[in-house]
Chain A
Amino acid sequence: MEQMRLYPRLDDQVLNKQLSLVKQVFIQGNAETRLEAMGYRVGFVLVEKIAKDIPRMNGELERMKFLCKEFWTAAFGKQIDNLRTNHQGVYVMQDNEFFIFSDFEAGKQYVETSAIYLALPCGIVRGALYNLGINCVVTSSVENLPVVKFHVHMQQKN
């Protein structure tokens, strides 16, 4: 502002700079979004490394099963404990002891804090599924640590 008063000719330049800063802030989003985007990248590459020697999978369910067994074991050290679906594009995967929370106090105390820790894994799952040909939205929910539920919503195919 000071600058603008002293050098009116600089107006454009200063405004542009401000504008680009504002744009940057909006593109980058909040911490969760950015972590999710990082996870997406990781999952996208990781699934290729894990799935390279595996025969072609047909159908959504088979891919989800691959994700719950092979992928989960290779990436997070154990299998998913429970996979449920409503057969209309919504899957719920339950991990009874997600590795990130093995050092957390079990119970409800850190449920709120856990959200930020789950942004990256959600991205990993989304990236992995995307590279398997499934376009989806992944969210997570926690009621009692260290039990984590991942919700996968398939995008409508056009």
Chain B
Amino acid sequence: MFANCLKSARHNKFGSLARYESTLVIAEHNNETLTPITQAVLSAAKKIGGDITVLVAGTKCGPAAAALCKANGISKVLVAESDAFKGFTPESMTPLILATHKQFNFSHIMAGGSAFGKALIPRVAAKLDVSPVSDVINIKSSDTFVRPIYAGNALQTVKVKDSIKVVTVRGTSFEALPLEGGNAPTEPAPAGEYKSNLIEFIKQELSKSDRPELTSASVVVSGGRGLKSGDNFKLIYSLADKLNAAVGASRAAVDAGYVPNDMQVGQTGKIVAPDLYIAVGISGAIQHLAGMKDSKTIVAINKDPEAPIFQVADYGLVADLFKAVPELTDKL
């Protein structure tokens, strides 16, 4: 214990935020590759200071663990490979995280604010009887976090009084920590019987796409109700291909069945913050803006000059998208 404290103190010699902190980061992966949001969580963990331990659980942990060992500034990677973690169900992951926490006594437990992290982290927090903090966009100190509320229309700064801080991190708000320059050891995570009989993972039906992944793409082209049909979305795909962009959608486009749900950008869909966001035929409801208004440059193409999207757009084009989008695709 004393040795641990010394180690942490040394680590924080030049850090201003905190002392004696130790963070457990729950890695997100798909048994083949590490999910990029994990790198953003590592950056957030570094802001807290202190030791960083990463936990990789799954049916096949090799690739993710190998990638994480190369991250600069983490102290170790714990690996729990077992059929118990098929589907990464919170019901099986939670007892593993609790056992790991019991052994190492972390001050912080963090994961990305993805569907995985959102499902898992509150279950862990409740077992520890602490109040978790969701979707943190800034870390002011080891116990003080900033998070958006009301669909991003207000920023709330909260101070956590619980001794263990359990948080999810908004991936777009922290730089991805490069997976290079480090050489952390891997160790087995605490052993135990983690298989849950409460839940059984059956299958995933994932949308296949050759385009960049939506939440980490540097350019995103999104379509809304104005596209009028799923067929017309090919205008969006052509423009996106020209820009090597990911394709997003408004809720209206998803509800109308033009595109699948995992393309929805907004308060209840994905949060994106690319260098360039092009909104086509999207009015710009509060709920959509929540998912994209941190984009560096926003372009809106809409025939309604009163559309709220123009209030956040850097460049607006009041035009019929069926003419403007093919023209734009041609001229790029």
Q: Are A and B a genuine interacting pair, yes or no?
A: no
